[in-house]
Amino acid sequence: MNKQVAIQDLGLKDYKQTWDYQELLFQRTVDLKIRNRREGSTLATPNHFLFVEHPHVYTLGKSGDMANLLVDETYLETKGATFYKINRGGDITYHGPGQIVGYPILDLDNFFTDIHKYLRLLEEMVILTLAEYGLRAERSEGETGVWLGVGTPFVRKICAMGVRASRWVTMHGFALNVNTDLGYFDLMIPCGIKGKAVTSLNVELGQREVPPGEVKQKLLKHFAELFGAQITKEKLKV
């Protein structure tokens, strides 16, 4: 089993371009698995982890409700935002500057074949990272992602998650609000969940700007520990 995970930080990149790149890496891995099975070969399948920051964009998962976007696409244009219906699970979410988005494209046959465990470990990676900033983050029963103030009237979401998997190969992932303009969340019902607020790391730390590179390093450290992964820094062609 190949537990090496190649990390690439794409910087600020258009959502559709990044989605296409994910699909390319995803399909290459799926095709290799099919070839291995057909030919009886044992070529190692790759694992990737993309970090990216997107310009303002709203995405709706395949099971999402369009009614959870509270404005039309014409209004989104006035806010400099775009909209896409995509092939991950989950409902509607927002990506934008100041948010750390992570897309692990893993062959879970290299780790474990359990999607539930995969999601829980991604949540745990974020929970452990936020603990390093003195925040007690938790899961909310029946809801994916990472939350603060669970069980109180002040419950608020800090990290959204939505994934797709086929033949145990994953794509899409998580979006952690770090220095995010939370006003953009007012244009939707986040993840289709009414009555719960959204927050960010800098808000929770008293409006202190948080270095994104610092957060990414903490995320990677916990990812490697939780998945037993070996992080590599190979340059991937976009």
Contact residues for 193 (Cβ-Cβ < 8 A; gap 6+): 91, 143, 157
In the predicted structure, residue 90 carries a pLDDT above the cut 80? no
Average predicted confidence (pLDDT) for the chain: 92
Q: What are phi and psi of 176, to 5 degrees?
A: -105, 120
Q: In this predicted model, what pLDDT tens digit does every residue of 109-153 receive, in sequence order?
A: 999 999 999 999 999 999 999 999 999 999 998 888 999 999 998
Q: Which is it for strands 156-166 and 143-148: parallel, antiparallel or unpaired?
A: antiparallel
Round to whole Å and give the CA distance between 47 and 228. 13
17 Cα distance to chain centroid: 16
CA-to-CA dists, residue 106 to 7, 123, 161, 164, angstroms: 11, 16, 16, 11
Q: Which has more confidence, 106 or 79?
A: 106
Segment 166-185 shows an average pLDDT of 96
Q: Which is it for strands 92-95 and 57-60: parallel, antiparallel or unpaired?
A: antiparallel
Which CATH code fits 4-232? 3.30.930.10
Which residue among the candidates 191, 198, 215, 229 is catalytic per the annotation?
191
The secondary structure of 85-131 as a DSSP string is E-SSSSSEEEE-TTEEEEEEE-BGGGT-S-HHHHHHHHHHHHHHHHH
pLDDT of residue 28: 97
Q: Which has more confidence, 190 or 102?
A: 102
In the annotation, is 159 catalytic? Answer: no
In the predicted structure, residue 237 carries a pLDDT above the cut 60? no
Query: For 172, how many CA atoms within 13 A lie in the half-sphere containing its CB?
Result: 20
pLDDT of residue 107: 98
pLDDT of residue 236: 47
In the predicted structure, residue 235 carries a pLDDT above the cut 70? no
